[in-house]
Amino acid sequence: MTDLFAPLQSLKLGHWFKLICGASYQHLPAVRSLTLAYTLAGADCIDVAADPAVIAAAQAALHIAKDLARDAQERGFGYKGNSPFLMVSLNDGEDPHFRKAEFNYTQCPTDCPRPCQRICPAQAIVFNSIKEDFSGVVAQKCYGCGRCIPVCPYDIIYTSSYMSTPGAIAPLVMSTGVDAVEIHTKVGRLAEFERLWQAISPWVDGLKVVAISCPDGEGMIDYLKALYELITPLKSALIWQTDGRPMSGDIGDGTTLAAVKLGQKVLTAKLPGYVQLAGGTNSYTVAKLKAMGLLKEAGKQGSRGAEENQEFFPSAPVPLCPPSSISGVAYGSYARVLLSPILEQLENKEVSNTNFKTTVHLEEDEELLWQAVKLAHSLVSQIKSQQEH
């Protein structure tokens, strides 16, 4: 095994870490900073919106990370100069990850306590902001969590959902050098999934990973089996992402329980491919998995037999032996909120005067950079410690 495909090795060994920037998150400075910090901390995969500008921002960060590899190693972080896989998210139908909150701020009473602004984890709701020169929802920052909707005293916040347009987006996105794709689906959308799959099929053989994200629901396992039959044979690694409680990891430790429970359900079904948690994941997730014996211990063989000794390359087929443990964890809202104090400081540096803004990149502020990487590493190292001796 060469280091070139280290992320696949992480998947095989059960310590895969994925950062979810957000399927509808398009705030380019934050995507760039998050990608840089988590890459230097040792992440295996960066999941971003299927937007060429967002992809370019992430790729710029991956390029900068290579130049900082030696510094990262000297500081004891996990990055060795091997880029994590860059993944884009697509959807085959309406999905909470693919929506934006909206409201007309002129309808807000002046005496409103603005609970929406306080509860927004992305700081996407602003009023009379000099920085944004705007009032309302900053669309680029909103990732669709929906927490603002039930707290609005006047019920004026709504969401606008959007669909992937496979015929238009697939050639544009899949030709930009992405390594992996994740398809968000749900039970009962087999025909819709098939249409999306047909649209991206010309590029699938060049991918290193295909992930399928699906929330729980009646008949879920039968649905996943039907999807497996539809997409095989598959040359890339296959990940089943168990979306337990979407976009909630920063709310509290207990949110991870739904992700773990759903991961167990899919493991029990013994589907070929790898099982990776998402939806409600946070600093408690790995500890919970360890306590339940759902993570592979370093140096121990699982029940996957010969597949454990298989060398993985991008053209490797889907493993035929089902996993006996969780292969990885994806972190979204928790990972982003963890770094939000650093990103906010960086963003405040952009306002050089009242006439114009100049972007300050994370690597240009060494102190903030390594603070961000240290915070990111505190999360990444939890699952990576499974393989430390």
pLDDT tens by residue, 252-285: 999 999 999 999 999 999 999 999 999 999 999 9
Over the stretch 66-107, which tens digit does the pLDDT of each residue have?
999 999 999 999 798 889 999 999 999 888 888 999 999 999
- The pLDDT value recorded for residue 305 is 34
What does the pLDDT read at residue 308?
37
What is the CATH topology of the domain spanning 99-161?
Answer: Alpha-Beta Plaits (3.30.70)
pLDDT for 324? 86
Domain boundaries, the chain: 3-94+167-335+379-387, 99-161
pLDDT value of position 389: 39
Nearest to 386, CA basis, from 54, 42, 24, 23:
42
Predicted pLDDT at 355:
56
pLDDT at 169: 65
Q: What is the pLDDT of residue 278?
A: 97
Phi/psi for 232 (5° steps) reads: -90, 150
Q: Select 3-94+167-335+379-387's CATH number: 3.30.160.100, 3.30.200.20, 3.20.20.70, 1.10.10.10.
A: 3.20.20.70
pLDDT at site 315: 41
How much is the pLDDT for 144? 92
Residue numbers of the chain with a pLDDT score lower than 70? 1-5, 130-132, 163-170, 172-174, 298-322, 351-357, 386-389
Give the gyration radius of the chain's Cα atoms.
Answer: 20
Whole-number pLDDT of residue 138: 93
